[in-house]
Chain A
Amino acid sequence: MQDLEGDFQENWRKWGRRLGKLGSWTGWLIILVIAAFYLMSGFYQVGPASVALVKNFGAYSQTIGPGFHYHLPAPFQSVVLVNVSNVRNEDLGFRTVRPAPNPQYQAVPQEALMLTGDGNIVYVEAIVQYQVKDAQMFAFNLIDPQLIVRQAAEAVIREEVAKRTLDEVITTQRTAIGSQSQVSLQALLDRYQTGIAVRTVKIQAARPPDQVLAAFDDVNSARQDHDTFINKANQYKNTILPKALGQAQQIINKAEGYKAQQVALAQGTVARFLDVLKAYRAGDPGVTRTRLYIEAMEQILPKMNLIILGAGEGNQTLNLLDLSKLLGQGPSSPKGGK
Chain B
Amino acid sequence: MKTLVVFVVVVFLVFIGYRLAAFTVDQTQVAVVLQFGKIVKVVTQPGLHLKTPFLQSVVYIDHRLQDYSVKPQEIITKDQRRLVVDNYVIWQVTDPRAFVKTMAGSFVQAQLRIDGVIYSNVRNVLADHTVTDIISPKRLAYLQQVTSSSQAQMKSYGLKLIDVHVKRADLPEANEQAVYKRMASEREQTAAQLRAQGEQQATQIQAEADKEVTITIAEAQKEADQTKGEGDATALKIFSDAYKQDPDFYRFWRTLQSYEQTFSGKDTLVLSSKADYLRLLQGFQPAQTAQQP
Which A residues are closer than 8 A to B by beta carbons?
A: 16, 19-20, 24, 27-28, 31, 55-60, 75, 113-115, 117, 119-121, 139-144, 147-148, 151-152, 154-155, 158-159, 162-163, 166, 188, 191-194, 208-209, 211-212, 214-216, 218-219, 221-223, 225-230, 232-234, 236-237, 240-241, 243-245, 247-249, 251-252, 254-256, 258-263, 265-267, 269-270, 273-274, 276-277, 280-281, 285-286, 289-290, 292-294, 296-297, 299-301, 303-311, 319, 321, 331-332, 334, 336-338
Contacts and interface: CB of A to CB of B under 8 A. Distances in A.
Contacts of A263: 231, 234-235, 238
26 contacts: A27-B4, A57-B48, A59-B45, A114-B170, A115-B170, A143-B64, A162-B136, A192-B162, A211-B177, A222-B192, A225-B195, A226-B197, A267-B238, A269-B239, A270-B238, A274-B242, A276-B253, A289-B290, A296-B257, A296-B260, A297-B293, A300-B259, A304-B268, A308-B272, A308-B278, A311-B274
Interface string B125-145: 000000110011101100000
Contacts of A141: 28, 64-65
Given A120-B179, A262-B231, A297-B293, 12 more contacts: A208-B183, A212-B183, A222-B191, A226-B194, A226-B198, A226-B201, A261-B231, A270-B243, A277-B245, A301-B277, A309-B271, A310-B273
B183 A219 contact: no
Interface string B228-270: 1011101110110111011001101100110110011111111
A293 to B, nearest CB: 6
A236 B206 contact: yes
B1 A20 contact: yes
A59 B46 contact: yes
Interface of B: 1, 4-5, 7-8, 18, 24-29, 45-48, 62, 64-67, 69, 88, 90, 131-132, 135-137, 139-140, 162-163, 165-171, 176-177, 179-180, 183-185, 187-188, 190-192, 194-195, 197-199, 201-206, 208-210, 212-213, 216-217, 219-221, 223-228, 230-232, 234-236, 238-239, 241-243, 245-246, 249-250, 252-253, 256-257, 259-260, 263-274, 276-278, 281, 287-288, 290, 293
Contacts of A163: 136-137
Nearest to B45: A59
Chain A CB within 10 Å — which of B131, B210, B225, B288 has the most?
B210
A57 B260 contact: no
A300 to B, nearest CB: 5
Contacts, number: 344
A245 to B, nearest CB: 6
A338 B268 CA distance: 12
Nearest to A307: B270
Contacts of B4: 19, 24, 27-28, 31
Contacts of B264: 303-304
Nearest 9 interchain pairs by C-beta: A337-B266, A259-B231, A226-B198, A248-B220, A255-B224, A59-B47, A266-B235, A222-B191, A233-B202
A263 B232 CA distance: 7
Contact of A273 (B45, B48, B253): B253
Contacts of B230: 259
A221 B26 CA distance: 64
B158 to A, nearest CB: 18
Given A192-B90, A226-B194, A259 B180 contact: no
A151 to B, nearest CB: 5
A171 to B, nearest CB: 14
Contacts of B136: 117, 162-163
A60 B277 CA distance: 152
Contacts of A292: 252-253, 256
Contacts of A19: 1, 4-5
